[in-house]
Structure 1
Amino acid sequence: MKIIRVANKKELNELTGEMLIGSMLSKQTRYNLSITAGNTPKGVYEYLAPRIKRNSAFDHVHYYNFDEIPSTDPNFIGVTMRDLKKLYLDPAGIDSKRIHHLTSENFENHDHNLLLAGGLDAMLLGIGKDGHYCGNLPGTTNFADQTVKVEAKGALKDLIGRHFSDPLLVPDYWITMGPKSVMNARKLILIATGTEKADAIWHLVDGPVENKYPSSILKLHPDLTVIVDEEAAERINN
């Protein structure tokens, strides 16, 4: 695990963007990248999109979402893909042929299809205050899980319900690449900012590997880079 401390969000955005650019350009053949939605990577995508758009050097890059919250509305694209399109895929002008949507219809074949496509070269991950990553929340998946459907009832359904204005559109499950699937990616880049992420980063870096903190398994990956600002890194010893 490599830990990189940065002074602020601007530095994190630029460094992460340049790291992704370098990784994408390290191959001339197909490059498979899975990226995260959410607030943390917003600045990364603002830095990255204009450098990717209309640049044929990146035409070999294919994009994957690693989780999805569907809807009872069959015309709804999905929360994650909706956000990824808004944050990055549309601003970067990514051809739809290079966007591979993980859905409730194809999740059972996702790992096999990824293998046939050469596997994931890299994943850009965020981390939740509770130590979750992708859709691997505490108590929802096991370390041996590949891509799975996670049942959402009670508090979990309320949690995903915040993404919908109409409660009738909230599904009773979500889809996620499980820990085993994530660990199969060749390179992991995890970013975090703010004091609210400090405990989660401590568990990732210095804590034991335990299901209570799902991201703790990531420290066992052979190529994990953690990029954090000073606030998020305030509890770790590195």
Structure 2
Amino acid sequence: MKLLVTENYETLSQLTADIILMKWAENRRVNLALTAGSSPKRAYEILSTRLKTVAFDQSLAHFYNFDEITLKDQDYGLTMQALHEELHQPLGIKEENIDVLDAENYQTFDRKIAEDGGLDLVLMGIGSDGHFCGNMPEFTSFDYGVYRVPIEPEDALYKLIDESSPHTPGKEMVTFGPQTVLAAKELVLIANGEKKAAIIKQALEGPITEDIPASVLRLHPNLTVILDKAAASQLA
């Protein structure tokens, strides 16, 4: 594991953008699974600016959403809506370069990834409970590939989506499981802010356990963890 501790969120974002650009610059097809959310937001802004000034063949980059939560009466789920807004549209990614994981194709998605040449890079955040992608402590197994989790109205995840989204949650979540993520060629985990310090310490320095799903990422031979000083503040 390579651990990079940056002075601040801006530097973290610069490094994250650099890693994505280095993959893009290899002048071959690259398969990328990049997270949505607040942590990578600035990195994607930097990436968008750089792509306007540097000549990259955008057709070589293919994008995979690593999880999805269905929404009622919507063409796309929660993750794809966020990725379109935060990543695909600002970077000008064409529809044919976006490979969508959803509740209809999740059972064959591991095979599709393999047929496409495997994932070159997975960029993830970490939840305050230690989850990565959609791998929550209460139901994940380190043995899982891509899998489905039903969502019921009484579930905490349903209530969270219902409260934070203008759309009604659907019936399921699908996600890359630990085995799918660990099969990628390179993993990058990013976290910023003091609120992530406690879970970062558990994930990076505690036991590897399904109770802290992100701890399994330490088994990958090419894992880079990028933190700002606040997120790294509890590390030994």
TM band (smaller chain): over 0.9
Tell me the CA shift for residue 163 of structure 1. Answer: 4.2
Which structure 2 residues correspond to residues 1-238 of structure 1 after superposition, within 5 A? 1-25=1-25, 27-53=26-52, 55-73=55-73, 75-153=74-152, 154=154, 155-166=156-167, 169-237=168-236
Deviates more, 1:223-232 or 1:134-143: 134-143
Deviates more, 1:15-24 or 1:205-214: 15-24
Question: Equivalents in 1 of 2:29, 2:166: separation in Å?
Answer: 38
Contact 1:209 1:216 in 2 (8 A): yes
In structure 1, runs of 5+ residues without a counterpart are none
Identical-pair percentage: 38
Question: Equivalents in 2 of 1:203, 1:57: separation in Å?
Answer: 40
State TM-score, norm by structure 2: 0.94
Question: Equivalents in 1 of 2:86, 2:113: separation in Å?
Answer: 24
Task: Output the amino acid matched with 1:41.
Answer: P
Tell me the CA shift for residue 80 of structure 1. Answer: 0.6
Q: Deviations over 1:14-48 (max 9, x none)?
A: 111012111222x3221100000111110010000
State TM-score, norm by structure 1: 0.93
Residue 197 to residue 128, structure 1, CA distance change in 2 (3 Å) = same
Tell me the CA shift for residue 158 of structure 1. Answer: 1.2
Tell me the CA shift for residue 71 of structure 1. Answer: 1.4
Tell me the CA shift for residue 8 of structure 1. Answer: 0.5
Contact 2:148 2:172 in 1 (8 A): yes
Task: Output the amino acid matched with 1:110.
Answer: F
In structure 2, runs of 5+ residues without a counterpart are none
SS of 1:90's partner is helix
Please tell me the root mean square deviation across aligned C-alpha atoms, in Å: 1.4
Q: Deviations over 1:64-100 (max 9, x none)?
A: 1000011121x43111111111111101101111111
SS of 1:209's partner is coil
Deviates more, 1:156-165 or 1:186-195: 156-165
Q: Deviations over 1:142-172 (max 9, x none)?
A: 1000111112232232123234325xx2113
Contact 2:64 2:99 in 1 (8 A): yes
User: When the two structures are aligned, how many residues end up with a matched partner?
Assistant: 233
Contact 1:40 1:192 in 2 (8 A): yes
Contact 1:29 1:60 in 2 (8 A): yes
Task: Output the amino acid matched with 1:109.
Answer: T
